[in-house]
Structure formats: structure tokens, C-alpha cells
Amino acid sequence: MKKLTIFLAGLGFAGLGFAATPLVTPAELEALLGNPAVRVIDVRTDRAYADSHIPGALSAPYGNWRGPASNPGELPPLPQLTTRVQSLGLTPATHAVVVSSGEDSADFGAAARVYWTLKVLGLKNLSILNGGEQAWSAAALPQDKVVPKVAASAYAPKLDQSLIASRDQVASRIDDPQTRLVDARPAAFFLGNASHPAAKAAGTIRNAVNLDNGKWFKPGTAIFLPLEDAKRVAALAGITGQEATVSFCNTGHLAATNWFAMSEVVGLKNVALYPGSMVDWTQASPALPMDNAPGRDKIANDAKN
């Protein structure tokens, strides 16, 4: 009887236009299962999905939301994304809950990037399952292998450009004191001691600050910190929301976690994601200004003068 009450409450919330919270627990998601207004989007691999998944979940592997090999961070073309959301039956009335594996904090970036992409496409009722599939399994909640069928939607999305920072936009604001550039990568990348294989140089964008995406999680897990702790993480990094904020990394993956944390969880305004990130930045010609990249920043400054 208790489970039935929770289930009906979940139906009522979604049916009445309940505003989705950015993070849901396994118990909260279980209460929503079976509601036709709720769509569980499983972004794990096809194989992981086939082994077992949350009942009613639809498979939408993360790779299908990414760009080309030359820069996976780029947004796929709008027609391709439109086909994707329509095939999942998504509309602005849908509450979409994104589920990744929950393996670690880096894996969370897959869910955050898909969440960001859906929001860019105009969808607002969005959540991420906190802890992903591993948290669901740890809670001993039901799973199955049934592949559900849903009717395609006719939703025609338009890109919300306010959530996207382009290379030119970032380049025009690197010296703007009203803009905060936030590098989500581990310190080794920020300091120029490591780089992505597709990047043409190590280092970071000039005047960026480093906020390792892993700081938003309970150590060793993919469980997001409570709100007050997340606010402290942002404050310690000097991110107050009083300036425009641009999150970046190597290919817009880890940066999606920082964007999600700052924009959706902490609630800061005017936060954008630079999807191409350092791979895109370092492929520019002439070279763009960088820090922690011996010789690279000097070349860019000489070309500018």
C-alpha cells in the first residue's frame, strides 16, 4: 500500500506540471515509473542497456549525442539532434530523467552533457539520476531487459544560444573582468602537464580558473554533494554568479558537470558551456591566447599586436 501511495503521488506531480528537480534519488525515480509524462533516458552503452536497465528506460547511448572524432565536444547538427529527441518521444511536456552508469564522477559528465543538450534543445523538465545505474542497483530496485516502444514526437527544437559559448565569444571575453572562465579539468591539464590527443597544445585559456569537476561529488563516488556543500565549492572557487560564467574542459564533457553544478544545482545565472573547449580552442589559426602553455601564449599575443 505504501508503494502504491508513493507511485500515485508521483503520477500526480508529473501530471500537474510538477517542476523537475535537477537531481533525483533512486526512490524518487521509482515513484515516477509508469507515468506516461516521464521518460527515462539511459545513456550507457547498448551492451550495458541490454544486460539490464531501469524498467521503461529507453536506450540513447552517449556517443550519439557527441560530435565528430576531430572534436567530440561539438554539438551534432540540429537535424540529427531533432531526430534523436523525436525518436525518444520527447516534448516540452515530458519529464526526462537521464541515467548514466554511476561508475565515477567522470561518468556523471555523460549525463550532464546529455542534460545540457536537451536543455539547449528547449526542454526544461529535466533531471539526472543521482548516482546513476549503480545507485539504482545498490538500492535493490527492479530492473528488466524489456525494450519499450514509444511513439515518436513531432517536437521541432530550436537551439537556445544563451547556453552555448562559441570560440569567438570566448575569445572576445578572455580579458573581460565581468566574465569568469572555468576550466573543469584536473590540475595536470590546467597546468599544461597533460593534454587531450586531439588538442594541438597543452595549457588552458588565458585568465581561466581551475575547478576540477570531481569536487562536486562525495569522494570516490558519482553521488552529487548536498546543495549547501555545492554552494561552498562554488564560493571557494570564487564563482559568485555576479559575472557571466563559461565552463570548458577538453571536449565539453567534464565541463558539462561544472555547468550543471553551477547553473542547475547552485542556481547561478548566465552560465554557458563552451562545447568545443580546449580541442577547439587549440585548433584555431592564428593561435589564441593561453596560460600554462610555454611559447603558445607568446605566439598568440605577438600575432595580436
% pLDDT > 90, the chain: 87
Tell me what the pLDDT averaged over the chain comes to. Answer: 91
Q: What share of the chain is helix, strand, coil (3-state, %, to 5)?
A: 40, 15, 50
Selected residue with higher pLDDT from 180 and 10: 180
Q: pLDDT per residue over 165-202, tens digit each?
A: 999 999 999 999 999 999 999 999 999 999 999 999 99
Distances (CA, A) of 135 to 141, 255, 258: 9, 23, 21
pLDDT band with cut points at 50, 70 and 90 for residue 229 = very high
The domains found in the chain, sorted by start residue, are 2-138 (3.40.250.10), 164-304 (3.40.250.10)
Mean pLDDT of the region 99-110: 97
Nearest-5° Cα angle at 238, 166 to 100: 60
pLDDT for residue 296: 59
| 70 CB-side CA count, 13 A | 5
Question: Nearest Cα to 216, choosing from 70, 54, 67, 108?
Answer: 108
Rounded CA-CA distance 225/260 in Å is 13
